[in-house]
Structure 1
């Protein structure tokens, strides 16, 4: 009997050794995201479960989308970030400048089920978010805004309003507010006349704008009464409401975008990162983000796994899609650098 137990123990140890060796050799890496409610959601939905399943430690950092920081790492040959959450515009700009690795999708999974726009050369779409209009109905009296583009109507809705301190989304909404059909926005914005028209419309509210640079700021500004309305990422307003606020979200003319993973050029942990991305892409894992923040997964297979109670709060819910503008990453890849420079100059004058 003792000999049998020893044999079983030896067999169990032999089976465990490869797993122990894998855990011992598991290569930790650094993942960088947007902080706040979104990164909290990522941590609960993906980072912690992945570490528990594999033993691989994920170190975390935060950023606000400033490509200059990645550029400095890459050009100095000291890339310390291995996986970064970004938006399509920044992904395309960085890809064009050689700041992000070209992805090998065969190491992630079958992309046939991806939503349109979620598969870029250097970026993998992880969830769908929306820039919406948020306001506090206890402070904004009278007629309620009906469209995100109503943020440009200072006569009907006087007072300070919040906008993200970037050209993307703002230029699209400016054209819609100026009468351009939502599905023709990029046709117009590709022209010099269209760009001039968008900046002219921005001029009409410039003195009334409070600029935000981090996703946590819009709900804070609403709660403090600093603005009467603001553009915001829908998940941040939904999260604020879960925590006791009663803000209203306006969906028509939402600007729909993706959060995306990119691998900075020069990362020394690429194999470990691809292992994580393969895990991330599994439908049951991809759908888990909706348990923690109101962003939609990027595949139909994952969307089918979302609770029916959660679906109405997601950007891709049919009732939220009226006049939705889907951000065009190719446009921002082609025109982003030029429009960023013009926007910054416009801000300074």
Structure 2
């Protein structure tokens, strides 16, 4: 009788006016086209299959580390699932703010039975991380610059070549990627970049190279800025996320091309905040198993030109949901685009970011 009464009471609490009250799940991401792609590929299908779940989108991923630290300090974790870049996942895992995951137990295998850990492979850069997409920071350039006399940039060092490719550039207002590109174009071999950057002399060398174009740079903080600057002809070449440039080129039909050379690969994916109550954790893990399976990761590529992190998803990448164009050639991981890539060192930046950020910001004010 007590069990029956409890079930009836629980059912009554879940009903208001005869309608079941959905359980909220707060998922944190980056906003814009990226969150829209997640909504279309993951959130909507999951809610359709689970009408008792209501997903709330929070666009605070750029503040994820600081906010999770504050929530943990206050003992009040209000987020259920958080989308972060790989370096932030490593930091959050090291600080005990993200939960360790057994990928093979928690996530679906590939369609052929390959365990999730093998299907994601080296994309799993932390025990707390569930990779989702591979994106790159790369350059777009206008194809109608009269001063270039018909020439087009062929490699990354065109960014530093003001003689052959004059005009304003746009670069992100932080050291990440900029210092790597600067050292590459100052003659440092790719496999020695982070050893050089680990020294004060190496940092000075990178900043000295950036000094050669500093007065021609417009600095950006949001990924949407470079596409707008290119569209408005305020810059002739600029860095941003490859998905933003895809939108500019294919959706807005601007006279812009991609410069894939030395594109910097990075990962985006999920962490589960440590300390979630059991009921919320069960809900999150059920969502994660759904949203990270082979088909779902391939589906996201219908909406944005980011490569799925599972090996088994790549063959399933099809056409853009609205434009009808094949998406595979627009992925940073496509063999034609990945002939010369730069692999971002997540652990190095997790260890050195605070120090190099301070040096870079001081250099900007000089």
Q: TM-score, normalised by structure 2?
A: 0.82
Among 138, 141, 155, the alignment partner of 2:144 is 138
Structure 1 stretches of 4+ moved >6 Å: none
Deviation of 1:64 (Å): 5.7
Write out aligned runs for 1:135-214 (5 A).
Answer: 135-139=141-145, 141-142=148-149, 143-214=151-222
* 2:341 matched residue in structure 1: 324
* 1:251 matched residue in structure 2: 260
Among 35, 40, 44, the alignment partner of 1:48 is 44
Deviation of 1:186 (Å): 2.7
- Cα shift readout 1:154-207 (whole Å, capped 9, x = no counterpart): 333222211122222112111111112334323433344333322222222233
Whether contact under 8 Å (1:252, 1:323) holds in the other structure is: yes
Match status 1:304 vs 2:318: no
CA distance in 2, matches of 1:199, 1:251: 23
The 10-residue stretch of structure 1 (108-117 or 219-228) with the greater mean CA deviation from structure 2: 108-117
Whether contact under 8 Å (2:84, 2:269) holds in the other structure is: yes
* 1:31 matched residue in structure 2: 27
Whether contact under 8 Å (1:37, 1:239) holds in the other structure is: no
CA distance in 2, matches of 1:290, 1:148: 26
Write out aligned runs for 1:230-241 (5 A).
Answer: 230-241=238-249
**Residue 84 to residue 344, structure 1, CA distance change in 2 (3 Å):** farther
Whether contact under 8 Å (1:284, 1:302) holds in the other structure is: yes
* 1:125 matched residue in structure 2: 131
The 10-residue stretch of structure 1 (308-317 or 91-100) with the greater mean CA deviation from structure 2: 91-100
Whether contact under 8 Å (1:118, 1:258) holds in the other structure is: no
**Residue 153 to residue 271, structure 1, CA distance change in 2 (3 Å):** farther
Aligned length: 330
**Residue 240 to residue 215, structure 1, CA distance change in 2 (3 Å):** same
The 10-residue stretch of structure 1 (208-217 or 191-200) with the greater mean CA deviation from structure 2: 191-200
Whether contact under 8 Å (1:130, 1:256) holds in the other structure is: yes
Whether contact under 8 Å (1:148, 1:231) holds in the other structure is: no
Deviation of 1:149 (Å): 4.0
3-state SS of 1:250 partner: strand
**Residue 43 to residue 131, structure 1, CA distance change in 2 (3 Å):** same
* 1:279 matched residue in structure 2: 290
3-state SS of 1:226 partner: coil
Among 313, 327, 340, the alignment partner of 2:357 is 340
Whether contact under 8 Å (2:170, 2:226) holds in the other structure is: yes
CA distance in 1, matches of 2:364, 2:275: 34
Q: TM-score, normalised by structure 1?
A: 0.86
CA distance in 1, matches of 2:50, 2:250: 32
| Runs of 5+ unmatched residues, structure 2 | 1-10, 109-115, 320-325
